[in-house]
């Protein structure tokens, strides 16, 4: 009989899914034998539908016990059975959410939850709805024509068949080198060496073209959203003719802009000396796109503003470290976000010697590590993704011992020391791993765990505890990327101590290998009725498609033993 775990045993553990974009939360520390948390075999995909049509999300889940599937959305309710019709298709084993007669206001990020006794899996999919503007009433059509204004379009270079989108080069010519990789990925450019060669040629062409209207251009800063909620980009430029027209475009359409004195103006340009700063106020989801500034018909800068329709599933948390330690901030989003803006005290920061910025494979988790914290690093740190942001504070304590301390206090206070160091671990892929060490110090030292130099104290993939000086780190199911050096750093105001060891994840387990071998050789006289003969150790050749592999086993048990005992008494060589 399966019993519901007691509340005291429920320790939420964040897990990784093999399906990108799926977040799994395990409710218990250890799963009963044969039981699993929910996961997605196939997650719902993003949809774009016309207003008035039907939108259908589909998902396939697994887990033991069988998970219950529910649906939700970020900015609305899905409880109306007339609008939202969830069902289960037994033939295809698909969980379906059908949205009938879709309206524009139903465009949102939709969430799918799979839940059982031991955990919950969640993923998201976006629904985009475009309006049906067609009308058959001649009078309505005439009114529409009277209201229509002709937007001035930017002269675009024609795209030849098989040629890269000209917008790619316009963006690259204004971008920083650190942004080259994600811009290439966005436009599908894979030949990096060829791209750099072409980029240098086009830079020379652009400089020659710009020289016709400007004396010099420099100090370009790409568009980014500030902590004030306003998007800005700027550059230095000296015009040859002060009367030259400066035009601002968004996705090829000309925009009107103010002089920066009126905050109610949507778009502004503020000129201070040779510095030009363009800003966009009251940001919304529709403000994303490609922004370009031209002098006459010559492009000066092209920059892309991305505004993802996501929410913070995990907000930043305040951090407190001792001077010299690393501090980490982590933000988790409801949907994939390729890149966000990090700010320290309202000033944007970049990946480098002082800051380490990383993004998870599924683009849901973004981390900022402040290295070797000093007193001047304290303050407010902000993560910005489009129109969403999260803030947290960093406090940095002095690591020097207090002055004027009594003799008794000096005797009882001790720097940290390692009593039992970490040991080397080599678990097979998919198995659990438990690393532990013992430290001592007075006052009790602050403990930080590092994997390959990155602090993992706030990483939900690791369960970390510190009880009476026994420091433990638990990984539920190890993966190859968990391999590497693990280090424990122990710090108090009187000193610092550390120890390290390695974790090496093995490949395929013997049990899995033999199971595959038995399936490939069902006709073998040595593999029948659940028994294995002595000559199994001499090897077999198994056919897998057009390839062959020779399997050799070292058997440490007698012949004719049952399969279960056999799998427990051998190893691969």
Q: What is the CATH number of domain 312-397?
A: 2.60.40.10
Q: Specify the fold of 414-503.
A: Immunoglobulin-like (2.60.40)
Tokens 């990789």 -> residue? 181
Residue 490 or 542, more confident:
490
Would you say the CATH fold of 312-397 matches that of 214-305? yes
Instruction: Please state the φ and ψ torsions of residue 154, each to the nearest 5 degrees.
Output: -80, 140
Return d(Cα 233, Cα 453) in angstroms, integer: 34
Helix, coil or strand: residue 50: strand
Residue 453's contacts (CB-CB under 8 Å, 6 or more residues apart) are: 485
- Flag the least confident range among 118-127, 471-480, 540-549: 540-549
Please give the helix or strand (H or E) that residue 195 lies within, else none: helix 192-210
- Residue 289 pLDDT exceeds 60: yes
pLDDT category, 158, cuts 50, 70, 90? low
User: Minimal CA–CA distance to 551: which of 529, 573, 522, 566?
Assistant: 573
C-alpha 17/C-alpha 146 separation (Å) is 55
> For residue range 425-452, what is the model confidence (pLDDT) as tens digits?
999 988 889 899 999 888 788 888 999 9
Range scoring the smallest mean pLDDT among 356-365, 400-409, 459-468, 556-565: 556-565
Mean pLDDT of 416-426: 91
Domain boundaries, the chain: 36-130, 166-211, 214-305, 312-397, 414-503
What is the topology classification, in CATH, of domain 36-130? Immunoglobulin-like (2.60.40)
Q: Which two tokens stand for residue 324?
A: 């010299």
Among 434, 406, 424, residue whose Cα is nearest residue 501: 424
Bridge partner residues of 480 (DSSP): none
- CB atoms near residue 21 (< 10 Å): 17
Kindly give the pairing relationship between strand 327-333 and strand 312-314.
Answer: antiparallel
> For position 542, what pLDDT does the model report?
37
Torsion, Cα of 563, 564, 568, 569 (10° steps): -40
Mind listing the pLDDT tens digit for each residue in 361-411? 778 889 898 988 999 999 999 999 988 889 999 999 886 554 454 544 444
Q: How far apart are CA 473 and CA 437, in angstroms?
A: 9
* pLDDT digit string, tens, across residues 323-350: 888 888 989 888 888 889 999 998 889 8
pLDDT of residue 62: 93
Query: Considering Cα of 327, then 333, then 336, then 340, what sign does the dihedral take?
Result: negative
150 phi, psi to nearest 5 deg: -85, 115
Residues 532-552 have pLDDT tens digits of 433 333 333 333 333 333 333
Token pair of 236, please?
A: 């230095």
Least confident of 20-24, 117-121, 315-319, 531-535: 531-535
Q: Are strands 275-280 and 231-239 parallel, antiparallel or unpaired?
A: antiparallel
- The Cα 59–Cα 519 span in angstroms is 30
Q: Say what the pLDDT of residue 264 is.
A: 62
What confidence score (pLDDT) does residue 570 get?
Answer: 39
**How many whole angstroms separate alpha carbon 309 and alpha carbon 386?**
8
Q: Is the pLDDT of residue 138 over 60?
A: no
Q: What is the largest CA-CA distance in the chain?
A: 96
pTM, full prediction: 0.45
Going across the sheet that includes 454-455, the strands are 454-455, 446-451, 484-492, 495-503
Inter-helix orientation angle 192-210/166-174, to 10°: 80
User: Buried b vs exposed e over 330-341: b needs ≥16 C-beta within 10 Å?
Assistant: bbbbbbbbeebb
Is 503 in contact with 483 (CB distance < 8 Å)?
A: yes
Determine the CATH number of domain 214-305.
2.60.40.10
Q: What is the pLDDT of residues 44-85, one digit of tens each?
A: 888 888 888 899 999 999 999 999 999 999 888 898 888 999
């Amino acid at each position: 009989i399966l019993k519901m775990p007691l509340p005291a045993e429920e320790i939420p553990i964040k897990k990784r899914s093999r399906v990108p974009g799926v977040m799994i939360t395990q409710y218990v520390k250890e799963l009963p034998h044969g039981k699993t948390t929910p996961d997605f075999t196939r997650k719902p995909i993003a949809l774009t539908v016309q207003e008035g049509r039907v939108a259908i999300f589909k998902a396939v889940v697994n887990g033991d016990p069988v998970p219950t599937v529910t649906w939700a959305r970020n900015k609305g309710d899905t409880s109306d059975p007339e609008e939202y019709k969830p069902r289960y298709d037994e033939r295809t084993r698909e969980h379906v959410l059908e949205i009938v007669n879709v309206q524009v206001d139903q465009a949102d990020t939709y969430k799918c939850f799979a839940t059982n006794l031991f955990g919950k899996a969640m993923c998201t999919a976006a629904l985009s709805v475009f309006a049906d503007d067609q009308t058959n009433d001649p009078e309505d059509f005439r009114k529409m024509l009277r209201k229509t204004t002709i937007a001035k379009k930017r002269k675009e270079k024609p795209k030849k068949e098989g040629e890269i989108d000209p917008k790619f080069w316009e963006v690259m010519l204004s971008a920083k080198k650190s942004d080259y990789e994600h811009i290439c990925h966005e436009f599908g450019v894979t030949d990096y060496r060829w791209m750099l060669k072409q980029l240098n040629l086009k830079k020379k062409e652009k400089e020659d073209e710009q020289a016709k209207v400007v004396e010099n251009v420099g100090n370009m800063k790409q568009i980014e959203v500030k902590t004030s909620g306003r998007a800005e980009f700027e550059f230095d430029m000296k015009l040859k003719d002060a009367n030259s027209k400066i035009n601002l475009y968004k996705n090829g359409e000309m925009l009107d802009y103010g002089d920066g004195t009126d905050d109610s103006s949507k778009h502004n340009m503020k000129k201070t000396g040779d510095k030009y700063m363009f800003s966009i106020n009251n940001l919304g989801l529709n403000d994303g796109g490609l922004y370009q500034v031209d002098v006459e018909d010559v492009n000066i800068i092209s920059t892309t503003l991305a505004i993802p329709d996501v929410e913070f599933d995990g907000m930043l948390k305040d951090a407190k470290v001792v001077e010299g330690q690393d501090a980490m901030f982590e933000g988790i989003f409801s949907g994939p976000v390729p890149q966000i803006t990090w700010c320290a005290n309202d000033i944007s920061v970049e990946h480098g010697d002082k800051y380490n910025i990383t993004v998870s494979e599924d683009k849901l988790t973004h981390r900022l590590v402040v290295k070797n914290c000093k007193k001047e690093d304290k303050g407010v740190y902000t993560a910005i993704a489009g129109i969403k942001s999260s803030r947290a504070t960093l406090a940095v304590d002095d690591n020097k011992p207090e002055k004027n301390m009594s003799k008794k206090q000096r005797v009882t206070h001790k720097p940290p020391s390692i009593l039992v160091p970490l040991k080397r671990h080599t678990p097979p892929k998919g198995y659990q791993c438990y690393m532990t060490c013992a430290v001592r110090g007075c006052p009790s030292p602050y403990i930080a765990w590092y994997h390959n130099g990155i602090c993992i104290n706030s990483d939900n993939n690791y369960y970390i505890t510190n009880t009476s000086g026994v420091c433990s780190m638990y990984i539920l199911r190890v993966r190859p990327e968990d391999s590497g050096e693990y280090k424990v750093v122990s710090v108090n105001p009187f000193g610092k101590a550390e120890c390290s060891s390695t974790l090496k994840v093995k490949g395929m387990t013997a049990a899995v290998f033999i199971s595959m071998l038995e399936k490939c050789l069902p006709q073998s006289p040595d593999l029948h009725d659940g028994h294995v003969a002595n000559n199994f150790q001499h090897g077999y050749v198994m056919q897998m498609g057009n390839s062959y592999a020779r399997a050799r086993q070292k058997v440490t048990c007698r012949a004719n033993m049952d399969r279960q005992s056999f799998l427990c008494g051998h190893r691969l060589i």
